[in-house]
Amino acid sequence: MDCSDDEQVLSPAVVQPVRRGRSSNLEIPVFLLFYAWNVSTPVLTDQIIYQACTISLAANVSDCAKLGHEHESPEVLDLEARVQPYTADILMVEALSDSILPAALNLFIGPWSDRYGRKPVLLLTFSGFALSLAMITAFCGWSRWYPLDPWIYTFAFIPSALSGSVCTLMSTVYCYIADVTSERERGAKMALLDTSLYGGMLAGSLSSSYILRKTNATTVFAIAAGAVFLAVLHVALRVRESVHIRRHRVDVGCCTKLRHLFRLDMVVDTVRTCFQWRPHYDRAIILLGVVALGGNIFALEDTHTVFFLFLRKHFNWSVRKYTFYSATETVCMILGALLGTYGLRKVLGLTEAAIAAVGFFCCFLNAIAIAEAIQSWQLYLGNFKSLFLFMLKGVADPMTRAFISNSTPPEDNGKIFAFTSSFEALMPLGAAPLYTYLYKNTLSWYPGAFSWISAGVFAMCYCLAITVCILRSMSGDSL
């Protein structure tokens, strides 16, 4: 395309969207992305701990190599206690970089995708993740030959942050699904997408420690980067545009599109759309859903910041044990997503809001189990003792998005999901420092205290979902 500033009015031919009822075709790239996420995250934490030990604290290399192994000596345990606060600060910066800029960008990108399509945004976000993982691979490889401070990994988070990170990616993915599905099938399609997401996480968890044991950290990151590059190719070659682009926007110059990307009036319109009055309590339902999703992200931030550190400190777990636990939890969430969608929805006839309430209640119970765990086997209590109850925690997120989408006109999907994802992306601004501060200050006497924060937030989300059920019943919909 040229760099014309004029939007040309073309012939009647228009870009045709994907027909409703067709597969969204995004399950494969989402699977690959979250496979890369889970295969690399525990290894990256482990690598940061090792480099913080050898470079930042200048400890003995042989002692640092023993970190993360079972049956550590008292000297190594003391070294672990010195390294973990330093590592927690780096992970906190990572969490903040994935929240501040993406939250702002998403308010612009969401409305822009309503005008010019979802596919360019999908290509941008997947490419950002691929570049970030490529940089992590390069830094890890160089660290084998040159001493690199672990803070250098924070530079690798910049490409994903500049492209919108998970915030923009998942917002666009859910908009795409809303574009190509009917209201009746939307909940099932979102649950199917989340199943693909959990499947990628499961595959990553199962293979992470095995690949690390057979090769090294650099190879793990290279495989993760390769998986996301494959996702980029899939989006470029196999995913069709879902937005019906108006004739005068089909061949707009690149400068015009960029200028429209950063129009403040689009952000104002996005916020106005979210708060405007709607019949049948739809405005309240949308806003309650947005707050519940934000609370869900807030509570899950412990996994990204301190949960693996907690398992290393409290139970002396290695990457292998952590990945096995993560895989077990993911299997339960996959089964729960399918059971919640096809069992509670189609058999029992519950609404999306009622199923979301069940999911949040299960998350609440699971957080308490983590906080009170004394022996490592107790972490599996939530997954096995009441299997069919606890695995339903996987339905909370897709069912909440489904009832938000069902309360939103099709033309407002991009704006609503952009606002939702931006709100979610802001949660680590408070959650990451809070979890890090609490963990560092309770490390010596109550390492699991941070999970009580998660339990309280999930309890709030449960109450919000119940409120939506009440509003639905008041407007004439059954539970």
At residue 220, the pLDDT reads: 95
Q: Which residue has the higher pLDDT, 3 or 167?
A: 167
DSSP secondary structure letters along 331-365 = HHHHHHHHHIIIIIITTS---HHHHHHHHHHHHHH
Measure the CA–CA gap between 475 and 479, rounded to whole angstroms: 11
Q: Which two tokens stand for residue 355?
A: 């199923």
pLDDT digit string, tens, across residues 372-406: 877 776 676 654 444 555 567 778 888 898 899 88
At residue 447, the pLDDT reads: 79
At residue 251, the pLDDT reads: 56
Kindly report the pTM of this predicted structure.
0.74
Instruction: Give the residue from 156, 124, 130 showing the smallest Cα distance to 37.
Output: 130
Matching fold, domains 22-65+76-243 and 278-478 = yes
Measure the CA–CA gap between 305 and 428, rounded to whole angstroms: 10
**CATH code for the part of the protein at 278-478:** 1.20.1250.20
At residue 223, the pLDDT reads: 97
Residue 261: pLDDT over 60: yes
Identify the band that residue 104 occupies on the pLDDT scale cut at 50, 70 and 90. Answer: confident
End-to-end, the C-alpha distance of the chain in Å comes to: 51
Identify the band that residue 253 occupies on the pLDDT scale cut at 50, 70 and 90. Answer: low
Query: Is 274 in contact with 422 (CB distance < 8 Å)?
Result: no
Q: Hey, where are the domains in the chain?
A: 22-65+76-243, 278-478
At residue 5, the pLDDT reads: 42
* Average pLDDT for 172-200: 82
**CATH code for the part of the protein at 22-65+76-243:** 1.20.1250.20
Which span out of 4-13, 168-177, 390-399 was modeled with the highest average pLDDT? 168-177
Report helix, strand or coil for 245: strand
Q: How many helices (H) and strands (E) does the chain have?
A: 21, 0
At residue 28, the pLDDT reads: 94
Classify residue 433 as exposed, middle or buried by CB count within 10 Å of its CB (0-12, 13-18, 19+): middle
Measure the CA–CA gap between 396 and 194, rounded to whole angstroms: 11
At residue 262, the pLDDT reads: 74
Q: Which residues contact 203 (CB under 8 A, 6 or more apart)?
A: 31, 35, 38, 39
Query: Of 53-62, 369-378, 456-465, where does mean pLDDT reach its minimum?
Result: 369-378
* Average pLDDT for 267-272: 84
Q: Which residues contact 303 (CB under 8 A, 6 or more apart)?
A: none
Q: Which two tokens stand for residue 392?
A: 């339903």
The distance of Cα 309 from the centroid of its chain, to the nearest Å, equals: 20
Query: Is 229 in contact with 64 (CB distance < 8 Å)?
Result: no
**What are the angstrom distances between the C-alpha of 104 and each of 92, 161, 255, 284?**
19, 11, 21, 24
At residue 21, the pLDDT reads: 45
Query: Of 113-117, 127-131, 171-175, 470-474, where does mean pLDDT reach its minimum?
Result: 113-117
Q: Which two tokens stand for residue 257?
A: 């599109």
Residue 10: pLDDT over 50: no
At residue 72, the pLDDT reads: 59
Which span out of 80-84, 242-246, 253-257, 258-262 was modeled with the highest average pLDDT? 80-84
The average confidence (pLDDT) of the chain is: 81
pLDDT digit string, tens, across residues 306-356: 787 788 777 777 767 777 777 777 787 777 777 767 777 777 778 889 989
At residue 328, the pLDDT reads: 77
* Average pLDDT for 461-470: 95
Instruction: Give the residue from 385, 363, 350, 381 showing the smallest Cα distance to 472.
Output: 350
Residue 152: pLDDT over 60: yes
Q: Report DSSP state, residue 448.
A: G
% of the chain beyond a pLDDT of 90: 22
User: Token pair 């003391």 is at which residue?
Assistant: 78
Instruction: Give the residue from 188, 215, 204 showing the smallest Cα distance to 33.
Output: 204
Strand partners, 15: 245
* Average pLDDT for 239-252: 65
Report helix, strand or coil for 220: helix
Query: Of 71-75, 93-97, 187-191, where does mean pLDDT reach its minimum?
Result: 71-75
**What are the angstrom distances between the C-alpha of 111 and each of 162, 175, 261, 276?**
17, 11, 8, 16
Residue 140: pLDDT over 60: yes
* Average pLDDT for 143-153: 89
Measure the CA–CA gap between 441 and 445, rounded to whole angstroms: 9
Phi and psi angles of residue 250, each rounded to the nearest 5 degrees, phi first: -65, -45
Phi and psi angles of residue 245, each rounded to the nearest 5 degrees, phi first: -80, 130
Neighbours of 460 (CB within 10 A): 16
% of the chain beyond a pLDDT of 70: 85
Measure the CA–CA gap between 414 and 168, rounded to whole angstroms: 11
Measure the CA–CA gap between 45 and 50, rounded to whole angstroms: 9
Measure the CA–CA gap between 128 and 139, rounded to whole angstroms: 17
Residue 443: pLDDT over 70: yes
